[in-house]
Amino acid sequence: MATEIELDINGKRRAIHTEPDTTLLSALRDQLDLTGTKYGCGEGQCAACTVLMDGSPRRSCLTRATTAAGKKIVTIEGVAQNGRLHPVQQAFLEEQAFQCGYCTPGMILTALALLKSNPDPSDDEIAQFMEGNICRCGTYPRIVAAIHRAARMMRSSAHES
Ligand code: FES
Ligand code: FES
């Protein structure tokens, strides 16, 4: 039976109608029109559907919408602030760390979580943290370069502030 729940998405409260088995991915894309979160495999294998839930990367295709109620959800649409790209987004652009771009929202959100916990990751630490994020276009070396670039940008803006 459908019930109404409230989600906290990108700092805004949004009401949705959900069945017990409605996924967060479906709620985001089909009800809230937040199509930056991508449907890849639908079974937890690619991380194209990654969002942040209370700051941690989460596969929205495996997460029930009801589980997300009461948690802070960030999607790719909520990453830029005040019309300015986040340094991770800027770094992906500058390193051209994508081809088709389908994996990019999930990559960026996972990279955000990585850099929050580790502001200066090594190549190995990046590879380990990003391991579940699949890029079918094979842009991994540029993605690693983008994460290093974003880390430098974030460290230098932290020094300035
Ligand atoms: S669509 Fe969720 S992991 Fe692939
Ligand atoms: S850029 Fe195409 S899947 Fe990663």
Distance 55 CA to ligand 1 centre (A): 18
Atom of ligand 1 nearest to the CA of 47: 3
Q: Which of 28, 49, 51 to mutate to test the pocket of ligand 1 (most atoms within 8 A of CB)?
A: 49
Give the global pTM: 0.96
Q: Is 48 in the pocket of ligand 1 (CB under 6 A)?
A: yes
Q: Are 123 and 143 in contact (CB under 8 A)?
A: no
CATH architecture of the region 87-160: Orthogonal Bundle (1.10)
pLDDT at 1: 78
Delimit the domains of the chain by residue range: 3-78, 87-160
* CA-CA-CA-CA dihedral for 44, 47, 53, 57, to nearest 10: 110
Q: Which of 107, 137, 140 to mutate to test the pocket of ligand 2 (most atoms within 8 A of CB)?
A: 137
pLDDT at 159 exceeding the cut of 80: no
Confidence of residue 124 (pLDDT cuts 50, 70, 90): very high
> What percent of the chain is predicted at pLDDT more than 70?
99
Distance 19 CA to ligand 1 centre (A): 20
Q: Are 36 and 105 in contact (CB under 8 A)?
A: yes
CATH architecture of the region 3-78: Roll (3.10)
pLDDT digits (tens, 9 = 90+) for 76-104: 999 999 999 999 999 999 999 999 999 99
Confidence of residue 161 (pLDDT cuts 50, 70, 90): low
- What is the CB < 6 Å shell around ligand 2? 98-103, 135-137, 139
- Which residues of 12-96 form beta strands (DSSP E)? 12-18, 50-53, 56-59, 72-74
CA distance 96 to 78: 21
> What percent of the chain is predicted at pLDDT more than 90?
96
pLDDT at 140 exceeding the cut of 80: yes
